Amino acid sequence: MVVPASGYIFTFQVHATFIWQSETLYRDQLTSAIDSLMPYAMRRLKARAARYSRRHQPHRAREFEVELQQVLRDEGAWDFNWYGEDLTCQPHIWVELDEQVKQAVRPYGEELIKLDCEHDVQMRRAEYSEKLSKQWASILTGLMGSPVADGAAEMTEKELADVVRKILAEQKAAADKLEDLMAKKVDDGDAYERSDHFEKLRERLERRADRLFAPTDGGSPNGHGAPE
Half-sphere exposure of 8 (CA within 13 A, CB side): 1
Three-state DSSP class for residue 35: helix
Helices 157-187/99-144 angle, 10° precision: 20
Q: What pLDDT, on the 0 to 100 scale, is given for residue 157?
A: 60
Spatial CA neighbour of 17 closest among 2, 36, 37, 38: 38
What integer pLDDT is reported at residue 170 of this predicted model? 72
Q: Cα separation of 138 and 132, whole Å?
A: 10
- Which pLDDT value is given to residue 158? 65
Model pTM?
0.53
Using alpha carbons, select from 96, 79, 95 the residue that is nearest to residue 87.
79
Residue pLDDT tens, the chain, 228 long: 999 999 999 999 999 999 999 999 999 999 999 999 999 999 999 999 999 999 999 999 999 999 999 999 999 999 999 999 999 999 999 999 999 998 988 888 788 888 888 877 878 877 777 776 676 666 666 655 555 545 554 555 666 667 667 776 776 777 677 667 666 665 655 555 556 655 665 566 555 555 544 545 544 444 444 444
39 HSE (CA, 13 A, CB side) = 3
pLDDT the model gives residue 148: 53
